[in-house]
Structure 1
Amino acid sequence: MTITKRGIGLLVAGLILLATGFRFGYPELTVLGCAGLLAVLLAHAYAALRPRLAVTRRAEPDRVMRGEDSRMTLTVRNANRVRAATLIAYDRCGPATVPVPVLQLRPGQDTVTEYPVPTARRGVVAVGPLRIVRRDPLSLVTMARSHGETARVWVYPKVHPLSAVPVGVVRSLDGRVDRVPHGTITFDTLRGYVVGDELRHVHWRTSARVGELMVREHLDTSLPRLVVLLDDRPVAHPGLGGGTSDSFESACEAAASIVMAAQREELPLTLQTVTGVTAGGDGRRITDTRPYLDLLAEAQLRDSASPGDGDELSQATARLRQRRLGDTLVYLTGPGRADDLGQVGSLRGAYPTIIVGALGALGATGSAPAPTEGMVVLSAADGADFAAEWDGVRAW
């Protein structure tokens, strides 16, 4: 609760009048002083009354690509059946504050406000909570409270179309190439029977034990499996400002473009950051890109480099070498650490095909990083340039 300048003035004047009246024996001044102090006291009691508000919000849509439109619809309803709500309201939308017209909201009445959500930058935009400022009729005291929950809008990186994806070492059975190794369809897990499953896949022994039909689910290991390693270390992306950099934003765009291309080709893909956040990795084809794009929207650089930054890439490469999540590794980094290509190149025994995307390299240094034996190095200034360099590779 905050007392306004008018309230402070009235409080000081009341005290002076009250003291003067008692000191010199003027009952009129004493009455005026008591009236001023009583007005401030009643103003505190009035502002302290908590309004009964029902606040709901809906984002349409709540997941958009950078630059696309998203609108927030906010509904504020006075749930009090007797008392009207005289309020001043502001909604928090990212870094901006949006005024909400709820002055003199009658009992049972609601007001609806619609406004655009800023989507110019990749990230997660937090919207809310609604901040209600209540004042007394004389504007002596104000009380600010928060109402409603906080909603989030995911702003995905911009996607640049890629015409092809790497075919990997082992080839798929659906006609991408002719050579198919034997034994590429393997057992993966058991799951409950659903209408449409073939009866020849029912595992009768397990079904008898659990009391319901259980179906064997197989995994096609002949599909090319992509692994995208996104470098989210500040040392790899110089020019850090506002928690991010242009090269990191370009790397996120490149990762999103690869995700969408893999989803179009129905290929398995694992997305992993150097700091250890992972999406996918179960060897299944991409059917829903939301977990991957959510990760890219939430990805951030730390504010400052720590002494352990040099070890994080070593730990990430050790995890990739141990798990062997695929046969094609795409490493997306910035122009800050060209020496890291040697560590990534050491994974060639586990990942026969390694592609390095050095984003921002041309713009920052004026030259592409030196190519390493056994790796395809794509140096690009931004996401659109990366897509052009990617489509220019004839080995796909």
Structure 2
Amino acid sequence: MGITARGTGLLVAAVLLLGVGFRYAYPELVLLGAAAGVAVGYAVVTAAWRPRLEVTRNADPDRVARGEAARMTVTVRNTGRLRAASLLAEDRCGPRRVPVPVLRLRPGRDTTVEYEVPTGRRGVVPVGPLRVTRRDPLGLVALTRSYGRTVPVWVHPRVHPLRAVPTGAGRSLDGSSDSVPHGSITFDSLREYVVGDELRRVHWRTSARVGELMVRENVDTSLPRIVVLLDNRATAHPERVDGVAESFESACEAAASVVTAAVREDLPVVLLLVAPGGDRAGEPPLDRLTAVELTDGGVETLRGCAGRLRRDRPGDTLVFLTGPGGRDDLGQVGALRGAYPSVLVAVFGTDAPTPAAAAGLVVLDAVDGAGFAAEWDGVRRW
């Protein structure tokens, strides 16, 4: 509860009038001071009345790509039985305040307001709670209360269509029917036996039919397993525009595009962060990319991440997405060539080609997510 400037002035006046009136025996001043005190007390009692309101929200949709339209519908219902509510209300929508008219809302009635949710930036936009301000008729006291819960609207990074996907260590001849996560061996063809072949690979039924030993030729049908490593170190994205690192936003769009393309092709894909602190590891990749933020960390953070990748080997194709501040650390990624047959590095927000120190890696220099998609589809080797 807060007393307005008018209420504060009236309260001070009441104290002075009562003090002077009693001190010098002026009943008129005492009467005026008492009236002012009664007015302030009435204002407190009036503002303290708590209306019974029920607030519901519906986001349509609650998950959108950056720049797409999303609407929020707020319904306020007066569940009281005795008094009509005439209040000042506003809904919180990210950094904005949206006015909600609650004028003479009778018992059992409701009012509905629709407004656009800002989706110009990637992130989780919290909507709510509804803040209702109750004032007395004289404007002496104002009391603000919150109603309803907060509803998040997820603004995903933009997804740019990618036509090409990595082929991995070995392309399955059986197509995408191989569901074994660590690969398997599949029959490819038969050939004549040569000295040194293992007898367990002899296909006895065919050998009996053709009259000579025939040996099975097998092929590793491991589906490509893609590891997308997003560099979320603040040092890798030093440039800011209005507090936003556009190179990091472009890297998030690239990560979302690669993950979406892999899911479309039924390929196993893993999304990892260089600095995983605060990561929502159990949530869908696009939701994780929506909530990810830049964190503190230097080359030691990347070195530790590279050590975990070398030890765990969650895939065979590594896609590393970083910013202009991460170009000097590409040696840590290049050291993973022994563990990952295919390593691709994308550097965003650069005004010059990545130096030749990154030799041996497939390096893409991209201005933004759309530029990355064009460069990605132009890669001829993995």
If the TM-score is normalised by the length of the shorter chain, which range does it land in? Answer: 0.7 to 0.9
- Paired position in structure 1 for 2:103: 103
In the TM superposition, residue 23 of structure 1 has moved relative to its aligned partner by: 2.9
* Aligned position for 1:78: 78
Q: Is the 8 A contact 2:183 2:221 kept in 1?
A: no
Is the contact between residue 173 and residue 223 of structure 1 (CA under 8 Å) also seen in structure 2? Answer: no
- CA spacing shift, 1:40–1:56, aligned 2, 3 Å: same
Match of 1:361 in 2: 350
Post-superposition shift, 1:221? 7.0
2:369 corresponding residue in structure 1: 383
8 Å contact from structure 2 (residues 321, 345) kept in 1: yes
Deviation (angstroms), 1:172: 2.6
What displacement does 1:9 show?
A: 2.2
- Write out per-residue CA displacement over residues 230-270 of structure 1, whole angstroms, 9 at most, x where no aligned residue: 00001111113555401101101111111111121111100
Q: CA deviation at 1:279?
A: 5.0
Take 1:332 and 1:100, find their aligned partners in 2: how far apart are those partners? 43
SS class of match (2:75): strand
2:269 counterpart letter in structure 1: L
SS in 1 for 2:310: helix
Superposed CA deviations along residues 204-230 of structure 1, whole A, max 9, x for unmatched, are xxxxxxxxxxxxxxxx97211100000
Q: Which amino acid aligns with 2:293?
A: Q
What's the counterpart of residue 285 of structure 2? 292
Q: Tell me the number of residue pairs that the alignment of Structure 1 and Structure 2 aligns.
A: 342
CA contact (8 A) 1:234 1:240 kept: no
Whether the 8 Å contact between 1:70 and 1:117 is mirrored in structure 2 is yes
Aligned residue in 2 for 1:238: 238
Alpha-carbon distance, 1:93 to partner = 0.6
Check whether the contact 2:237–2:247 (CA below 8 A) recurs between aligned residues: yes
Deviations, residues 184-205 of structure 1 (Å, cap 9, x unaligned)? 48xxxxxxxxxxxxxxxxxxxx
Structure 2 unmatched ranges of 5 or more: 177-181, 187-219
Shift of 1:337: 2.5
Q: Tell me, yes or no, if the aligned pair for 1:270 and 1:279 is still in contact at 8 Å.
A: no
Alignment of 1:46-125 (within 5 A): 46-125=46-125
Q: Could you tell me which residue of structure 1 aligns to residue 320 of structure 2?
A: 331
* Distance in 2 (alpha carbons) for counterparts of 1:45 and 1:247: 55
Structure 2 counterpart of 1:152: 152
Which residue of structure 2 lines up, in the alignment, with residue 286 of structure 1? none
1:270 and 1:278 in contact (8 A); partners too: no
- Percent of aligned positions that are identical: 61
Q: How far is the alpha carbon of 1:344 from its aligned partner?
A: 0.6
**TM-score, normalised with respect to structure 1:** 0.82
SS at 1:338's partner residue?
Answer: helix
Matched, 1:351 2:340: yes
Structure 1: how far apart are the matches of 2:221 and 2:62?
35
Query: Counterpart of 1:337 in 2: which secondary structure?
Result: helix
1:87 touches 1:133 (CA, 8 Å); kept in 2?
Answer: yes
Query: Residue in 2 aligned with 1:134?
Result: 134
Mapped to 2, the partners of 1:30 and 1:270 lie a distance apart of: 78
1:369–1:379: 8 Å Cα contact kept in structure 2? no
Q: SS of the counterpart of 2:127?
A: strand
In structure 2, the CA distance between the partners of 1:12 and 1:183, relative to structure 1 (3 Å rule), is closer
SS at structure 2 position matched to 1:130:
strand
Cα distance in 2, alignment partners of residues 173 and 28 from structure 1: 103
**Matched-pair contact (CA < 8 Å) for 1:371–1:377:** no
> How far apart are the structure 2 equivalents of 1:390 and 1:182?
26
The answer (yes or no) to whether the contact 2:230–2:272 under 8 Å persists in 1 is yes
Opposite residue 183 of structure 1, the aligned amino acid is S
Structure 2 CA distance for aligned equivalents of residues 73 and 240 of structure 1: 34
Partner of 2:197: none
- The structure with more radius of gyration: 2
In structure 2, how many angstroms separate the alpha carbons of the residues matched to 1:40 and 1:13? 11
Q: CA deviation at 1:371?
A: 5.6
**SS of residue matched to 1:100:** strand
- The Cα offsets for residues 324-371 of structure 1, whole Å up to 9 and x where unpaired, read as 111100000001122211111111121110000011123xxx333326
The SS at the match of 1:340 is: helix
Match of 1:223 in 2: 223
1:146-194 CA distance string (max 9 Å, x none): 1111111111111111111111002234448xxxx98348xxxxxxxxx
Question: Retained in 2: the 8 A contact 1:90–1:100?
Answer: yes
Q: Give the 3 Å change call, closer, same or farther, for CA 24–140 of structure 1 in structure 2.
A: same
Matched residue, 1:392: 378
Structure 1 unpaired stretches of 5+: 186-219, 281-289
Check 1:39–1:221 CA distance in 2 against 1; reply closer, same or farther (3 A cut).
Answer: farther
CA distance in 2, matches of 1:153, 1:124: 6
1:14 and 1:354, CA in 2 relative to 1: closer, same or farther beyond 3 A? same
2:306 to 317, 326, 335: 317
Contact 2:183/2:223 (8 A) holds in 1: no
Letter matched to residue 288 of structure 2? L
Of stretches 123-132 and 22-31 in structure 1, the one that deviates more from structure 2 is 22-31
Alignment of 1:25-64 (within 5 A): 25-64=25-64
Bigger mean CA offset, 246-255 vs 309-318: 309-318
